[in-house]
Each structure stands twice: as structure tokens, then as C-alpha cells.
Chain A
Amino acid sequence: MDKDAYSSRKLASDQNKDILLSMEDISVSFYTHRGIVKAVRNLNLQIKKGETLALVGESGCGKSVTAHTINQLVPMPPGKIESGKVIFEGRNLLDLDDKEIASLRGDRISMIFQEPMTSLNPVFRIGDQIADVFMAHHDIKKDEAMEKTVKLLELVKIPAPERRIKDYPHQLSGGMRQRAMIAMALASPEPGLLIADEPTTALDVTIQAQILRLINELKQDINMSVLLITHDMGVVAETADKVIVMYAGRKMEEADVYSLFENPSHPYTQGLLNSLPSNKKYTNATRLEAIKGTIPDLLTIGNECPFENRCPHAMTVCRESFPDKTELADGHSVWCYFVDGKGKE
């Protein structure tokens, strides 16, 4: 019987051999005293093995909530996962109990955050904190875990790792702390998915370049998948393979990184790229082409396209319902009535 279960699972995994994680029709809401905030709405995404998927958007777009849904870090209440599945290696993570999900966290699915000082424990040595991750998931002795820790710190290019394992977090610089966090995320015999939530936002730009390069190299060396959460289109351009642009809980555009930057199609994506002063078109310009208005209050958004009030191409139909997917090219999709031509009189 065990054998049957094994082979049926193996069969299922063969069919989607390349897909490591898929989220299907995920909706997450927060029930606050002011009303229901629909933070993520009917979101689908897939990450293949060895691929970096970037979720990009401004504050409140639901990118972090999406990431937190994967390893069940959404606080419930007030949060509630209204619908959907998170399939990781053939299992729906939303069906797992606390113990089962805990065994995946830090082992097969790891997370690094924006501010490494607040995610490392200030009263324990770096080495002990990383070794703990090994020991929590696998039956190994402290000495062996420490040896592995030194190797990991070498892997993330922390100089003199034998000495550094005895340091406390405050003794490391910001960039080194983020390296230590990445080492901790890799503390597994077989890291599967790394969720990086704004991993370089708190770092200086020369340090950011180092960390982005490190994540890229590691991804290639150990065939790990990365879900990168960021607000910075520059970071996306440097690291992502695929990109999902989110706005107010909705997916607006999805494409591989080259098509997205070459042919941004959603008015929001275009506006976002035009808002960047580093955009090449501004070499001699005196003003930026800004998106007018502000992000709407999530409490008040109904079924309309949430970008409608800021969109230069808004039509009546945009106020009535959210558009269906329009496929522009292989793997490049957009959700917009203006692009698909419907609603034009």
C-alpha cells in the first residue's frame, strides 16, 4: 500500500516535473474593524525549479501577503484565506497542520526579510542560530551542524567564517547580516524555495549589488527557486526570470523579464517604469511622466479594475468589472480592457 501511494505521488510529480510551487486562485482578506480588506484577489502563480519569480508592486499591492500565504505566516485572525490552493511538491500546503508546515519552514521553504537586524536573534551567536536550523530538522550532532554552518558562511562569502560563527548579530555590518540570513535560509540538505521579501531595501546600493549577485550565483549553483518580493524595478531587472506586476491585490501583468521591460503593456506597468528617474528616456528631460493620483483605499475597491481612477486610458467598462486575461505572447499576459480592445466603442 505504501508503495502504491509512493508511485501515485511520483506519477503526479512527473507530470509537473518542473513546477516547484503553484498557487491557484488564492484570495486573502483581512477582517478589520473598518471593514474587509481584500489584500490578494484570485491570484495564480507558478514557480519552476531553479527559477526566480519577482512579485513587484507598490505598498499595499499584496505582494508580501502572497508570500506569507505560502508558509502560512498570515496572522489569522484578522487574516483569512478565502479560497485557493498552494501546491508544493504535490501537497496543498493550506491543508497541512502546524507541525507539518513547521517541518517545511526553514528546510524546504525559507524566507529572508528586509531588515536582517530584526530577524536575527540579538542574544545568540550567528553560528548557533544557523546550526539550530539544521538541528531542528535533522537528527545531527552540534559539532556536525557547526561544520556545515562554517561551510555555508563560506558559500555566502563571509570572510573568516570560523571566527564569524562566534559573533553576535550586532557585530556584523548590514550586508554581512543579510549574508548570514541567506546562509540560514540555505541551512538544509536540499533547499527548495527561497522567499526573499525586499532583501536589499535596507542596504546601501554597493552592498545591494553584492547581495543580488550572491542570490543569482547561489540560485545557479544549487538549483534553488527564488520568489523575490520587491518594489524596485531595478532589482527586478537585475535578478528575475519571470515577473508578476501587482496592484491593489490583483495581478496586472505577467511576463518573462525581457518581454516585460521591452514591451510593458499594462498602463500601470508603463506608468511604473516611467516613474523611475533612471529610465533612459529622461537623460535630458526636465520632468518625469508620473502616474497621477494615489493608490486607492483597499476597503473601497469592489469588482472594478483598481487602477481605473489613475489610468490614462480608463473606460466605462473598467469601472464595472475586472478584465479577463489577455495573452499577448507566449508567457506574456495582461489584465486590461484597453489592451484587449473590449469596451472600446
Chain B
Amino acid sequence: MEKLLEVKNLKTYFTLKSDRIGSRPEVVKAVNDLSFDVNKGEILGIVGESGCGKSTLGKTILKLNHKTEGEILFKGSEIFDLNDKDLKDLRRKMQMVFQDPFSSLNPRKKVGSLLAQPMQIHKLGTKEEIDAKIDEIMKEVGINPVYKGRFPHQFSGGQRQRIGIARALMLNPEFIICDEAVSALDVSIQAQVLNLLLDLHDKYKFTYIFIAHDLAVVEFISTRILVMYLGKIVETAEKKELVGNHFHPYTKALFDAFPATDPKGRDERATVLMGDVPSPINPPSGCYFHPRCPRAMDKCKLEYPPLKEVSPGHKVACWLHE
């Protein structure tokens, strides 16, 4: 399989302003030493609770954030080493779809000019070619091209998200990062947009990174899943393996916590994970999950476990697997 993206020991830290003179500034380790690959044509789902660094990771991969350390190789070249011109060329191939279709579209621009902008910025095509492309893409995402003279507020949330997807498609990208792309939508609309993303994947063989907090959505759309907790990968595997054979207590807790769509047996459900997600400013010692882990041992309090391969493609960071 061809690797499209390689992430090696990536760290993204943010330094907070110190609130007292002379005190040491606090550092948020949003992405803390991550390594993984994304293969061409796959849908990698990244799932985790708030503060786990999943969105920061997505932005860092597109160089919308700085990185503190590590490498991000897109088709073998480090994106942080590219000069402006090469980076601009590269950005044609990598696009992003955002969560909130209300704030990610400029309210003062008509849909037609919102969609024309990516091609104008990259100086691609004549006016007629751009127009034709807009019609084609709008049809592709299920919006009648006669509406291109409308403003974003004249569309519903689901239609706006389709416009956000259309904008990402205008430059024929190879790689799209969807950051909580369906979480602001009503469930009936969410299902439509998920189907659309899958249709586009089948037709154009895009590679997706699909970031979401909703395990059911990630489980449905992904081919491979990566579970994050406080800036670290706790477990990653092919979807079938992760769903059927997850090992990390946190992954298990996530699956258990997710409400089943069946009231039967709800009173005998597995125990609920106690405690809160700790602050990424002062993560606990040892394994970050140990204060909430039902199976924590002494060793877990002292040392962070390495991410180890337990079967081909299935990696877990947990001392229980020693």
C-alpha cells in the first residue's frame, strides 16, 4: 500500500501566558509524540473526547498550526520545509471540511463566488471553466446549481455543509481532513452527509482523515481507527479489529459509554467510567489514563507505556499487554 502521509514523533505544544510575573509559563501538550501513517485511499478515523488533541492534530497536518517537533511527510516531502510556492501547490491537494457550516462560509459572499475562490487563488482555469466546474461540483454534492446566486444564510445547515464539501472539492484534492464535519447536523441530515462523503470516496478515491468525537460515526465511515487520549494514541487498528477486539481499557470505556440504540438490558450495562478527563496542562504521571482506569497497576502510575504492535496493524499503549 502506498503511504500518502507519514507522521513521525509529532509534537505540538502551546505555551500559555503566565498569569503571574516570574512564574513559569504553562505548556499544553496538545499533540504529544504521535507517529502514524495514512495510506492512499483509506479513511482514517480519529476519535477521542474533548481536549484529546484530535483537532490540533488535523490542523498541524495541514500546517494551519505550528509544530514543536517531529516530521509530517506528505508523499515523502516534509511540509514544514516547503517554501511558500511549493506549499501553495501542495495545499491544492489537501483540503479541509470544518465542523460549523455557519461560521466556515463567508456570509457576505454568494455561493458561486465562495466556490470560485479556490480556483481563482490558485489561478486555475478561465472564468467559463470555473463556472462549469462550479456547476459540476454543486450537482455532485446534491445542490441545484441554479442556487449559486444565493447567500449561505439562505441554505439549511445540511446544505451549507454540502457547500463546505463542494468548496473542498473544487481543486480536485487527493486528501481531505474532515474535522467534526457532521457533528453540528441533525441526525437525518447527518446520515445524508455521511453517505455523500462515502459516495465521493468511492468515485474519486480520496484519502480522508475523519476526526470526530462520535464513536458510532467514526466506526461507520472509517476503514482504520485511531483512538486518542490527552494528546497520545492509546490504540489503533483496522476498523473490524478495533471494534471486535479492542484491548485498551479506555477504548473499552468509550464503546461502553456510547448509548446503545436499544433499551433492552440497559439496567445491566457495564460499569460507567468515573472521573473527568484531566487537564492537558498537567497530565497525570505515568499512563495518562491511570486515575480513571479500572485496571490500573503500580507500574501505570510511574511510566507511560509504549505503543506496541499486538497483531499486524493493531497497536496498543497499555502496560496490561506486557
Q: Which residues of A approach B to under 8 Å, CB–CB?
A: 58-59, 173-176, 204-210, 212-213, 231-238, 240, 257-258, 261, 271-280, 282, 286-292, 294-295
Decide: B263 and A261 in contact? CB cutoff 8 A.
yes
Residue among B158, B213, B256, B261 with most chain A CB within 10 A: B261
Complex: A175 Cα to B263 Cα, angstroms: 24
- Residue numbers in A under 8 Å from B156 (CB-CB): 294-295
**Can you give 12 A-B contacts (C-beta < 8 A)?**
A176-B276, A205-B49, A209-B256, A209-B272, A237-B262, A237-B266, A272-B188, A277-B191, A282-B220, A287-B195, A291-B192, A294-B159
Instruction: State A286–B266 Cα separation when bound (angstroms).
Output: 28
Q: Which residues of A contact B261 (CB under 8 A)?
A: 233-234, 237, 261, 273, 276, 278-280
B216 within 8 A of A: yes
Chain A hits for B50, CB < 8 A: 204
Q: A209-B272, A233-B261, A294-B189 are in contact. List 13 more A-B contacts (CB 8 A).
A: A58-B187, A205-B257, A207-B276, A208-B259, A209-B256, A210-B274, A212-B259, A235-B259, A237-B262, A238-B260, A276-B187, A277-B194, A277-B217
Q: Which of A205, A232, A261 has the most CB of B within 10 A?
A: A205
A257 touches B263 (CB 8 A): yes
Q: A233-B187, A277-B217, A279-B261 are in contact. Are A206 and B273 (CB under 8 A)?
A: yes
What separation, in Å, do the CA atoms of A237 and B266 have in the docked complex?
8
Least Cβ distance of B114 to chain A in Å? 20
- Give Cα A5 to B210, complex, Å: 65
Which residues from chain A contact B272 at a C-beta distance below 8 Å?
206, 209-210, 213
State the Cβ distance, A133 to closest chain B Cβ, in Å.
25
Residues of B within 8 Å of A, CB-based: how many?
A: 41
Query: Is the CB–CB distance between B264 and A209 below 8 Å?
Result: no
Write the nearest CB–CB distance from B271 to chain A, whole angstroms. Answer: 10
The 7 closest A-B pairs by CB, nearest first: A234-B259, A277-B220, A278-B216, A290-B191, A275-B191, A204-B49, A58-B186
Q: Which residue of B lies closest to A205 (CB)?
A: B257
Question: Is the CB of B73 closer than 8 A to any CB of chain A?
Answer: no
- Alpha-carbon distance between A278 and B212 when the two chains are bound, in angstroms: 14
A288 touches B253 (CB 8 A): no
In the complex, what residue of chain B is closest to A233 when comparing beta carbons?
B261
Q: Known contacts A278-B216, A294-B159; decide if A288 and B195 are in contact (CB<8 Å).
A: yes
Point out the residues of chain A lying under 8 angstroms from B158, CB to CB: 294
Q: Is B190 an interface residue (CB 8 A)?
A: yes
Give, as a whole number of angstroms, the nearest-CB distance from A70 to chain B: 24
Beyond A277-B217, A294-B159, whether A288 also contacts B49 by CB under 8 A is no
Which residue of B190, B262, B263, B277 contacts A275 across the interface (Cβ within 8 Å)?
A: B190
- Which chain A positions have C-beta within 8 A of B266? 237-238
Please, how many angstroms separate the alpha-carbon atoms of A175 and B159 in the complex? 33
- Asked if B254 lies at the interface with its beta carbon under 8 angstroms from chain A, I say yes
Instruction: Tell me if B174 is interfacial: C-beta within 8 Å of chain A.
Output: no
Q: Of all chain A residues, which has the CB nearest B264?
A: A258
Q: Indicate if the CB atoms of B264 and A204 lie closer than 8 Å.
A: no
In the assembled complex, which residues on chain B have CB atoms less than 8 Å from the CB atom of A234? 258-261
**Residues on A with beta carbons closer than 8 Å to the beta carbon of B217:** 277
Residues of A near B273 (CB, < 8 A) are 206, 209-210
The answer for the CA separation of A204 and B277 in the assembled complex, in Å, is: 9
**B100 CB within 8 Å of chain A:** no
B140 at interface by CB-CB < 8 Å: no
Chain B residues contacting A232 (CB-CB under 8 Å) are: 187, 259
> Which residues of B218-269 are within 8 A (CB) of A?
219-221, 253-254, 256-264, 266
* Bound CA–CA A234/B260 (angstroms): 6
Q: A206 near B195 (CB under 8 angstroms)? A: no
Nearest CB of B to A342, in Å: 26
Distance (whole angstroms) from the CB of A309 to the closest CB of chain B: 13
Indicate whether B215 reaches chain A with its CB closer than 8 angstroms: yes
Q: Is the CB of B213 within 8 A of A206?
A: no
B213–A204 contact, CB under 8 A? yes
* A89 CB, min distance to chain B CBs, angstroms: 29
Residue among B188, B216, B261 with most chain A CB within 10 A: B188
Give the chain B neighbours of A210 by CB distance below 8 A: 272-274
Task: Give, as a whole number of angstroms, the nearest-CB distance from A54 to chain B.
Answer: 11
Contact for B263 among A209, A237, A288, CB less than 8 A: A237
Look across to chain A and name the residue whose beta carbon is closest to the beta carbon of B253: A206
Chain B residue with Cβ nearest A260:
B263
Confirm or deny: B198 has a beta carbon within 8 angstroms of a beta carbon on chain A. yes
Residue of B nearest to A277 (CB): B220
Contacts of A288 in B (CB 8 A): 191, 194-195, 220
Give the residues in chain B near A231, CB-CB below 8 Å. 186-187
Question: How many Å lie between the Cα of A290 and that of B142 in the bound state?
Answer: 14
**Structural contact, B188 and A205, CB atoms closer than 8 A:** no
Complex CA gap A174/B195 in Å reads 33
Minimum CB–CB distance from A247 to chain B (whole Å) comes to 10
**Distance in Å from the Cβ of A149 to the closest Cβ of chain B?**
21
Docked CA distance A174–B221 (Å): 29
CB distance from A198 to the nearest CB of B (A): 13
- Contact A205 B191, beta carbon cutoff 8 Å: no
Q: Please, what's the 1-or-0 string for B4-24, where 1 marks a CB less than 8 Å from any CB in chain A?
A: 000000000000000000000
How far does the alpha carbon of A295 sit from the alpha carbon of B262 in the complex, in Å? 25
